[in-house]
């Protein structure tokens, strides 16, 4: 299953990207994979496409104390994390 989600950030996109790179091994352990991420022009909001087996995985993972702390330290407003929509089929032209 894939979802489109968003989160507000306060320390810029580069800081947020580094945090996600640092957390990738932990995400992979629980079967979560980020497929795409982008930011709005003023870098105050990130949009992500995430793939997982079960949507509860993302909630459980994101609420882990160590993960929430890392996200907050990177400027993510953890409480603002919002699932915009599940994604059915997709297409990414090359």
Q: Each residue of 18-38: pLDDT tens digit?
A: 999 999 999 999 999 999 999
Q: How far is CA 80 from CA 10, 25, 59, 69, in A?
A: 12, 24, 13, 14
Whole-angstrom Cα distance, residue 90 to residue 80? 25
pTM of the predicted model as reported, rounded to 2 decimal places: 0.89
> What are the extents of the domains in the chain?
2-87
16 CB-contact burial (10 Å; exposed 0-12 / middle 13-18 / buried 19+): buried
Q: How far apart are CA 77 and CA 92, in angstroms?
A: 29
Residue 73 has pLDDT above 80, yes or no: yes
The pLDDT score that the predictor gives to residue 62 is: 80
pLDDT, averaged across the chain: 92
CATH superfamily entry for domain 2-87: ACT domain (3.30.70.260)
């Amino acid at each position: 299953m894939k979802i489109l989600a968003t989160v507000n950030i306060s320390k810029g996109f580069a800081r947020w990207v580094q945090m996600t790179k640092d957390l990738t091994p932990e995400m992979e352990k629980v079967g979560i994979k980020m497929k795409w991420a982008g930011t709005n022009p003023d870098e105050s909001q990130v949009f992500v496409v995430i793939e997982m087996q079960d949507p509860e995985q993302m909630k459980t993972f994101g609420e882990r104390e160590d993960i929430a702390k890392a996200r907050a330290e990177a400027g993510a407003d953890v409480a603002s994390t919002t699932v915009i929509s599940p994604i059915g089929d997709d297409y990414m032209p090359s």
